[in-house]
Structure 1
């Protein structure tokens, strides 16, 4: 009789076990004790059913179970964020969603408020899954868009470039104090926005440590406030990166004869301070190998610092073309170094072709001059293309389809 009643007893105890687990009517300690007692009677902890109850699914949505919580996270990463299975599994190791409510709100902000496409959302979440747990994202987006004045496209770029710093910087502890300080230093919101676009460190970093001491040193060296504003709005990275290069830059400006009060100082100092010494040395050596003297290199740098940002290969190709077609030597180029910074394909070559045709027809009698290549694009087109295209249609074809250089 006992053997015949066992299945009914087992069924009863299993129903009891499910009731204790699902209804939650007993205290936590009592529930655990009863569960243990019943499990021993029915033969261990084997699952009673392979089909989860609706209550169990709801429990997983709330993240109350470890394995269920992990499954919820992976499911959300795949289906709501667009991650591939392997990427979702890897990201789930770095974030555990106890609920999807806030994560859904974050994704909505990224897509709807910021206009981030699905592929970029997936890229951001894969790189920094903790973004899904952010409870300040909306307020920060509002700060960057409304108070600082970044566009949505600019903000998307900055967020993707450094999500960790973007999300960790506190609004009241770092962002607003930095914005206020920059307004005091730069005078206008336009200047602040221009500077921050060049270097987001101006918003993220502790400016009292990384910026203000350097500004004081520059003032002590005679740099005027006007020059400081220009330096901050054009080359702020020279002031927030690598303190040793900052000191070397001051020495170099003195050696090169760049006055701290001159309009060239912010550009010369900015270019030099942002360039590693090894790269600077390679650029100088390249010019010397092409027939320049070091004095000519220094003279060109003071006149147009950006000529030192052109790669060695481009300099060689441009100088070869200039020497063969125009006959200009390093002494000429060191006096007009801007030509080496111009796009060869979009500016120098199209203008040369037009001018060569006009010279062969006798329109230009004194040959191609430096001013032909350095004049503004609109002026060149009006004077040498539009003016002659009816009687010499070849000039329009030579000029070709192009964009502003």
Structure 2
């Protein structure tokens, strides 16, 4: 046998031996599964983009939580949502926030909830908005969760509109057992003498702050009471709201440090909190930008802002800057006194401000309305 033939036979033997040891049933299964998974993932991403309106980035992210074998069930879900007025964007929001809803049974899981919400007065226009913001509602038990929770909200509020506002803002109310958190905490506040209108405000604006363990909630209420807040005043529920959640305590600590940097003493900070508790729930950017404008550009003393913390809650671009621009023009033209109170300027309702500081000087300064609307920059801006 020639040397070449001998080498060929040897190589063939080695390759066949390697092949027998490599292509095992387990290897084949893994190979087939891997290829199938890749194909399913590719189909899922493509479906999410083309049929659900997701961006490529969102589709890739959602595909990690959802693997579609075919489009049969998802097609029925998408068609169902669209038949009840969901726009393409609202369908996309539902899928992004709760991807597995694409695998839901439309008749058994989705339809009963839709019919219930219609029965309690939710309009065809509002329903897609509510459910796209909180699609988890479509997965909760109608009998054990949605109906009793909705009825509880209705027992506190005077109108369905207020109920729906609370439902929109509270995803957690329908995720937890409200009978062990929300209900006992509301009852506790009622026993303390908190008026119904204050409870309504609490539930409408910040229902999640009531969904904590009753023991911890009572500790927060006692802490707020020791600070001097009175249960019958609106500031009481605002203060409880500001202190009731861990993430809010984090905000509190951050706000505390920022105010200290602007020269507020600890007593000033607590005084501001007692006047308007929401001043301890603002972002660092919001506080810094507003304080910088009022103190460094308008010459207001930082301690004055602490005296009127409500100012910090106003929108800087839409309220504070336009009004202060008008005041700067009036001061530059010596039409108002230098000691005008910025607090009184900012706190007025818009129609009163316009009447008092713009329309009253229209004859002398016709451009004043343009200054207010941002069409003309004030001289000292």
TM over 0.5: yes
Q: 1:354 maps to what in 2? A: 326
CA contact (8 A) 1:304 1:337 kept: yes
**Could you tell me the TM-score, scaled by structure 2's length?**
0.73
CA distance in 2, matches of 1:119, 1:278: 32
Provide structure 2 residue ranges, at least 5 long, that are not aligned to the other structure. 1-35, 376-381
- The yes-or-no answer on 1:272 pairing with 2:238 is no
Equivalent residue runs for 1:172-211 within 5 Å: 172-211=143-182
Q: The residue matched to 1:383 in structure 2 has which SS?
A: helix
1:260 and 2:231 equivalent? Answer: yes
Contact 2:156 2:200 (8 Å CA) reproduced? yes
> In the TM superposition, what is the alpha-carbon distance from 1:214 to its structure 2 partner?
1.4
- The alpha carbon displacement at 1:106 in A equals 2.2
Which of residues 347, 355, 361 in structure 2 aligns to 1:388? 361
1:138 to 84, 87, 111: 111
Asked if 2 retains the 8 angstrom alpha-carbon contact of 1:116 and 1:156, the reply is no
Q: What are the Cα deviations for residues 144-178 of structure 1, in whole angstroms up to 9, with x where unaligned?
A: 3452526646634643x554x33321222322222
The 2-side partners of 1:230 and 1:311 are apart by 22
Offset at residue 375 of structure 1 (A): 0.7
Distance 1:195 1:219, change over 3 A: same
* 1:251 to 2:228 alignment: no
Alpha-carbon distance in structure 2 between the residues aligned to 1:317 and 1:77:
40
CA deviation string 1:73-104 (max 9, x = no partner):
869767654677x859958964556x93x644
Which residue is 2:286 aligned to?
A: 314
* Residue in structure 1 matching 2:261, options 269, 280, 289: 289
Within the candidate set 343, 349, 370, 2:315 is matched to 343
Instruction: Quote the Cα distance in structure 2 between the aligned partners of 1:88 and 1:372.
Output: 48
Alpha-carbon shift at residue 197 of structure 1 (Å) = 2.3
Contact 1:114 1:156 in 2 (8 A): no
* Number of residue-to-residue matches in the alignment: 331
Are 1:264 and 1:302, in contact at CA under 8 Å, matched by a contact in 2?
yes
Structure showing greater radius of gyration is: 1
Asked if structure 1 preserves the Cα contact closer than 8 Å seen for 2:295 and 2:302, the reply is no
CA shift, 1:305, in A, is 1.7
1:359–1:367 contact (8 Å) kept in structure 2? no
Q: 2:78·2:102 contact (CA, 8 Å) conserved in 1?
A: no
Alignment correspondent of 1:400: 373
Provide closer, same or farther for how the CA distance between residues 142 and 358 of structure 1 changes in structure 2, counting only shifts above 3 A: same
Aligned residue in 1 for 2:271: 299
Q: Is contact 1:326-1:368 (8 Å) kept? A: no
Q: TM-score with structure 1 length normalisation?
A: 0.69
CA shift, 1:194, in A, is 2.6
Judged with a 3 Å threshold, the aligned counterparts in structure 2 of structure 1 residues 190 and 130 are, in CA distance, closer, same or farther, namely closer
In structure 1, C-alpha distance between the alignment counterparts of 2:97 and 2:364, rounded to whole Å: 61
Following superposition, the deviation at residue 312 of structure 1 comes to: 2.6
Q: Distance in 1 between matches of 2:325 and 2:169?
A: 36
Structure 2 CA distance, aligned partners of 1:300 and 1:345? 23
Q: Render the CA deviation track for 1:264-316: whole Å, top value 9, x for unaligned.
A: 21222222324432331221122122111111111111211222222234323
Check if 1:379 corresponds to 2:349: no
Deviates more, 1:87-96 or 1:212-221: 87-96
CA–CA separation in structure 2 for the residues paired with 1:143 and 1:204: 18
Asked if the contact 1:234/1:267 (under 8 Å) is kept, the reply is no
Local SS of the residue matching 1:271: helix
- Quickly say closer, same or farther: Cα 1:96–1:287, change in 2 above 3 A: same
In structure 1, the gaps of 5 or more residues are: 1-65
C-alpha change, 1:90 and 1:280, in structure 2 (3 Å) is: closer
Secondary structure (helix, strand or coil) at the match of 1:292 reads coil
